Amino acid sequence: MEIAGRVAQANGRLKAANTGVTIEVKGNRFVLRATLPPKPGSKSQRPYQQRIFLSYHANPAGLKLAEQEARKVGALLDCKQFDWQPYVKNDVQQTLTVADWVEKFERDYFTRRERNPQSETTWKDDYLKVFKRLGQDQALTVELLTQAIAATSPDTRNRKRFVFVCTKLAEFAGLESDFANLRGRYNPKQVQPRDLPSDEVITAQRDRIPNSLWKRAYGLIATYGIRPHEVFKSSFERFPVLTVHDGTKTGYRLVYPYYPEWSEDWDLVGELPKVSGKNNSSIGNRVTHAFARYDLSFVPYDLRHCWAVRTIRFGLPDTLAARQMGHSVAVHTEIYHAWITADEQERIYQMLMARGDRPKPPMM
């Protein structure tokens, strides 16, 4: 039986005995979690959920010792004789540096998810960029994490990322922390909309691309709103519906053309440019470089954003548009609905009013 199953059984026994203590695995060691009195020097006055780091390795022998320790802690709590001193004194985790903790966190991170180009990109972009801003040879403390967060600009996406990642690392290390007050008021809706090209400009810019393979790649992004790297991880299994395969940021999905005429007229079925890259991000950068090489007046993601706004004009429900784009409905409505210009609203209004089946006022 795997260690996770053994831990679940042990926690079942502890729950049945009403110990109030749970066993967890952090890195390759066991940890106890319970409602404990504040540590010496803590600003807290009341007991709260905390962790006790044990020196026992995450194996069956260590689990037996961890369960014994959990029962001991539960009994001490019941008779109000629990003392932090033995655990703080023997807490081997206190001697670890930031680099040590990051290494342990990375092992745990990829224990819980497959290590592939997609997860590697998430690790490097969302976690490692934050970890590199911490003093690698310093001891991991709440003060160190607070300073790293405070060094970022308030109310920004970067500040939000730092709070999220530092909170995860602090929880993993069993540190008493709360960075919620530093998070700020960042919201994707507050981001200024891009100056998106019109569909007429998109058509004209396509005609400027001399390379037929890159012209096809351009057409796929414009017609289907896919991410740049997804051009090379999609196919037409039932034209004109495009199939985006697993291995992309959000996995398998079906995408429909908006406009369908582009899928017919732009010769989108066929050979694509030869690109290579170690992950989705590097492949996407090849597309960005191609746009710059052909001196296009916008970047690939602008075509994706135009597709999203265009589906609103077509009347595609947000749930379907979000599914085809590979993100949540919340992201879709918060970002793209905020990007509808006054001219676009007027155009959509006139289109809706011209419908023969639109609601009519009651007759007097």
Give the tokens for residue 107: 């092992």
In tens, the pLDDT along 282-308 reads 888 999 999 999 999 999 999 998 998
Sort 86 into a burial class: Cβ within 10 Å, 0-12 / 13-18 / 19+.
exposed
pLDDT at residue 191 tops 50: no
Q: Determine the Cα–Cα distance for residues 106 and 123; give it in Å rounded to an integer.
A: 8
* pLDDT higher at 95 or 176: 176
Nearest to 194 by CA among 346, 304, 331, 318: 304
How confident is the model over 65-77, as a mean pLDDT?
95
* Residue 362 exposure: Cα atoms within 13 Å on the Cβ side: 1
In tens, the pLDDT along 224-261 reads 999 999 999 999 989 999 999 876 566 689 999 999 99
How confident is the model over 196-225, as a mean pLDDT?
94
Q: Model pTM?
A: 0.55
Lowest mean pLDDT among 132-146, 223-237, 326-340: 326-340
Q: Determine the Cα–Cα distance for residues 41 and 344; give it in Å rounded to an integer.
A: 59
Tell me the CA end-to-end span of the chain in Å, nearest whole number.
77
How confident is the model over 197-217, as a mean pLDDT?
94
Give the tokens for residue 214: 């890159």
177 contacts 164 by C-beta, under 8 angstroms = no
pLDDT for residue 244:
92
Query: Helix (H, G, I), strand (E, B), or coil: what is residue 198?
Result: coil
pLDDT at residue 82 tops 90: yes
Give the tokens for residue 16: 């049945």
pLDDT for residue 33:
92
Q: Determine the Cα–Cα distance for residues 204 and 222; give it in Å rounded to an integer.
A: 12
Q: Is 206 left (phi over 0), alpha (psi -120 to 50) or beta?
A: alpha
> How many residues can be counted in the chain?
364
Helices marked H in the chain: 3-16, 60-78, 85-89, 98-111, 117-122, 129-131, 142-150, 157-173, 199-206, 212-224, 260-265, 280-293, 300-314, 318-325, 329-336, 342-353
pLDDT at residue 89 tops 80: no
pLDDT at residue 346 tops 80: no
pLDDT band (50, 70, 90) for residue 140 = confident
pLDDT at residue 187 tops 90: no
Nearest to 17 by CA among 78, 62, 61: 78
Mean pLDDT score of the chain: 86
Nearest to 102 by CA among 173, 31, 13, 24: 173
Nearest to 242 by CA among 210, 208, 266: 266
Q: Determine the Cα–Cα distance for residues 48 and 44; give it in Å rounded to an integer.
A: 9
